[in-house]
Amino acid sequence: MTDHDHRNIPSTQGLRHVALNVSNLDQSKTFYQTWFGMDIVWEPDAENVYMSSGVDNLALHQIPSGDLHEHRPGHGQFLDHLGFLMETPERVDQLYKQVVKEGVTIVHHPKQHRDGSYSFYLADPDHIVIQIIYEPTISAIRFSS
């Protein structure tokens, strides 16, 4: 892509929507409400729920019972991980202590990264890996809803 081509592409406001297939909609809905403060913005039926922290949108879609056998943790998952941004390294540690206390699966313990970011990784009820991250460049940005 040339610089000229890049200027003709409309700018985005960033990655603000993720849709996940889940094995137990109620369990996943509670997980994202409890640990990330996601509020339900629309629940059109018993198989779908849309949630938000105020500046983003998370869609959870129930995997049909007949297809659950095809969705097994650790087998061909294309999503490496998704991330929730934290304001400070201290907030990362605070959430880490809370999830450990409640028995949430920890994938990687808190670590300082070479780029100045600080994070840990946990797993949701379907073993989707989530990075809880303070990133000095984007954590300083104040998003409005």
10-14, 57-61, 108-112: the lowest-pLDDT one: 10-14
The mean pLDDT of 127-139, rounded to a whole number, is: 86
Q: Is the dihedral of CA 105, 35, 76, 135 positive or negative?
A: negative
Output the pTM of the full model: 0.74
104-137: burial string, b at 16+ Cβ within 10 Å, e else: beeeeebeeeeeebbbbbbbbbbebbbbbbbbee
Please, what are the domains in the chain? 3-67+78-134 (3.10.180.10)
Q: Are 54 and 95 in contact (CB under 8 A)?
A: no
Q: What's the chain's average pLDDT? A: 85
Provide the pLDDT confidence category of residue 63 given band limits of 50, 70 and 90: confident
Three-class secondary structure assignment of 24-92:
CHHHHHHHHHHHHCCEEEEEEECCEEEEECCCCEEEEEECCHHHHHHCCCCCCCCCCCEEEECCCHHHH
